[in-house]
Amino acid sequence: MQLAIAKRSDGSDYLVPIAESNLFVSYVEKGQIELLFQNLLACFGQQVKVLLSASTLPVEKLKELNKNLVAEPDIVLLEMAYKELKARRKAAAVKAPVFILIEDIWSWVLMTNKKGRSTRLTDLLTMGPEHQVFMICASAISLRNLLTQLIDNNPKLKSRLTASQHPRPVGTLGAELIYTAEDFVYYKKKGSMEFERLY
C-alpha cells in the first residue's frame, strides 16, 4: 500500500509506504491536511478500518471515501484504538491494517495527560505498527518541535524511549512529513537522519 505524497524534481510521483510505520505530519494550511487525508482514504480501499479525529475537517465528505471510517469524540476513538491493539496482541493471525487519522495530535496529548490515559497513547505509538495499527498524527505547529514536545508531554512515552542504555532517536516513532507555505514538501523515512525535499 503506497501513497504519492509529492513530486520529485523530475516530475515523477514520490511514493511512500503507508502500512509500515506511524506518520507525523506538520502542515500550514487546513487544505494541506484535508487533501492528505482524502488521498489516504482513497488509497486505503474498503477493507481497512479507519478512525478519524477531526475538529475542522469535513467529516461527512471524508466518510464518502471510505465506508469503514469511524468519526467519534477523541476519548471514544482512543478507547476503540487501544482495544483494537489489545485484541491484536493476543491474536495469532495478522489482520488488515487499522489507521488512526488525527488532525491535531495535541488534542490527544492533552486528553491522555488530563485523564491519566498516557499509557494507551504510548502503547499505540510504540507497539501499534507491529500489530498493523498505524497513527497518522498531524499538527499545525512546526514538526521540528512536534515529536520532541509529544514525548516531553508524555512521561511514560519518554521513559519507554529512553529506558535502554542507548536511547532511541525520536525518529524511530515513525516517518515525518512537512508541508510548507511555499508548497514544498519535506519527507523523512522512519529512522533516517535526512529530509528529502519534494514538490
pTM (2 d.p.):
0.87
Looking at domain 2-192, does it have CATH number 3.40.50.2000?
A: no
User: Using one digit for the tens of pLDDT, what is the confidence trace for 132-167?
Assistant: 999 999 988 765 566 666 677 677 777 766 655 444
Measured distance CA(23)–CA(138) in Å, rounded: 8
Measured distance CA(169)–CA(173) in Å, rounded: 8
User: Using one digit for the tens of pLDDT, what is the confidence trace for 107-118?
Assistant: 888 888 776 688
Count the Cβ atoms, other than its own, within 10 Å of residue 7: 13
Task: Count Cβ neighbours within 10 Å for each residue of 132-164 and write b for 16 or more, e otherwise.
Answer: bbbbbbbbbeebeebbebbbeebebbbebbeee
Torsion sign, CA atoms 179, 69, 116, 85? negative
Domain ranges across the chain: 2-192
Q: What pLDDT, on the 0 to 100 scale, is given for residue 166?
A: 43
